[in-house]
Structure 1
Amino acid sequence: MDSMIITKVAAGVLGAWLVFLLGGWAGEELYHAEMHGEPSYSIEVASAEPEEAEEEVPFEELMAQASVDDGAKVFRKCTACHKVEPGANATGPYLHGVVGRDIASADGYEYSGALQGKDGAWDTAALNGFLEAPGDWAPGTTMGFAGLNKPEDRADVIAYLDSLDD
């Protein structure tokens, strides 16, 4: 191999390395990585440490404080499938008078086997469990709604549904 070729290759490699180093230095000068003073805002992220669980309020207390007006607002999610007029079934059964009514007993509605197999009435505890996670409370139900996570929302919806019954 000719010595001139070796010199050209070495010059190319060392020149590229020099450009890389100078580019890194220029980038550091333009964009400082260290902080200068206090940040104007901070973004909080979840810590790896588990948080202490909040004390859970008994559902009976939430029902005592439940708001019918707030329940009507939360119930708007349900109006895609349920009606509140007596006998007006839609994708789901009508919910007028549901509080205290036997489970799977709305006239003219064909319930899934999961709810037909349930005994009892739609009392506060049953509605709370069903509204929290319909698929867990009645495995195999055809209700596709995931549920209401907040116990306050469930209490408000139950209060709203209870207010519909004359």
Structure 2
Amino acid sequence: MFDTMTMTKVLGGLCGTFLVYLLGAWVAEEIYHVGGHGDHHEQAYVIEVETDEPADGEPVEEVDFSVVMASASAADGEALWRNCRSCHALEAGQHGTGPALYGVVGREVAFYDDFNYSGALAAVAEVWTPENLNGFLENPRGWAPGTAMSYNGMRSVEDRANLIAYLDSLDD
């Protein structure tokens, strides 16, 4: 059944397959890389990605938060509350994973004695002003390094202002 000629054909088929694979790899390397065969290759093509900065290299002008806060909508902020309610409560003294947020705007940072705050917050600010809340909501770990809050942050300044306006509208 298996004679020398059959084994020669099988071995020739395997060698031929391996040769086609090597030639394909070489052709792909030539197509997708520009330049020599040294350690460093130039990219054959570049995919352009939009950035927030203008093409002329000038930085984007920062908007004053007080201007954004003046036009904030508490009704729009109520819809944004869903991101917070998994860890926080709006009832005074009722804590979740995070402290209660009733009356948070304008109160001391470590307000509740029955909640275990991380020391990182008290080291950064004393009072939750709208500006402090804006910085914290934008990037909690960047604003207060070492904070226990695991939220990644809210990128839109308008959304942050709306959420702060909503939280401010809850108390008297």
TM-score (norm 2): 0.65
Is it true that 1:57 corresponds to 2:63 in the alignment? Answer: yes
For residue 72 of structure 1, what is the amino acid of its counterpart?
Answer: E
Q: Which letter maps to 2:119?
A: G
1:61 is displaced (CA, Å) by 1.0
- After TM superposition, the structure 1 = structure 2 runs for residues 10-89 of structure 1, keeping only pairs within 5 Å, are 46=49, 51-52=54-55, 54-89=60-95
What's the CA shift for 1:113?
Answer: 1.9
1-structure distance, mates of 2:124, 2:60 = 32
SS of the residue 1:76 aligns to: helix
Q: 1:123: which partner in 2?
A: 129
Normalised to the residue count of structure 1, the TM-score between the two structures is 0.67
Is the contact made by 2:125 and 2:132 (CA closer than 8 Å) also made in structure 1? no
CA gap 1:47/1:128 in 2 versus in 1, 3 angstroms: closer
Letter of the aligned partner of 2:145 in structure 1? Answer: P
1:26-82 deviation per Cα after TM superposition (whole angstroms, max 9, x unaligned) = xxxxxxxxxxxxxxxxxxx6359x635554321111111100011111111000100
Contact kept, 8 Å, 1:133 with 1:147, in 2: the verdict is yes
- SS for the counterpart of 2:168 is helix
Given the superposition, is the C-alpha separation of residues 119 and 63 from structure 1 closer, same or farther in structure 2, using an over 3 Å criterion? closer
> Which residue number corresponds to residue 145 of structure 1?
151
Structure 1: where are the runs of 5+ without partners? 1-44
Q: Which residue of 1 aligns with 2:115?
A: 109
Q: Which runs of 4+ in 1 moved over 6 A?
A: none
RMSD across aligned C-alpha pairs, in angstroms? 2.1
Q: SS at the partner of 1:79?
A: coil
- Offset of residue 125 of structure 1: 1.1
CA offsets, 1:118-160, max 9 Å, x none?
4420001111111111101110000000111000011001100
Count of equivalent residues: 122
Q: How much identity, in percent, do the aligned residues show?
A: 50
- Which residue is 1:3 aligned to? none
Quick one: which amino acid aligns to residue 71 of structure 1? G
Cα deviation, 1:81-132, whole Å, max 9, x if unaligned, reads 0000111100000000001110111242110121243442000111111111
Q: Distance in 2 between matches of 1:159 and 1:119?
A: 20
Aligned residue number for residue 164 of structure 1 = 170
Larger Rg: 1
Q: Which residue of structure 2 aligns with residue 4 of structure 1?
A: none
Task: Give the residue type in structure 2 aligned to 1:162.
Answer: D
**Which residue does 1:100 correspond to in 2?**
106
What amino acid does structure 2 have at the position aligned with 1:133?
N
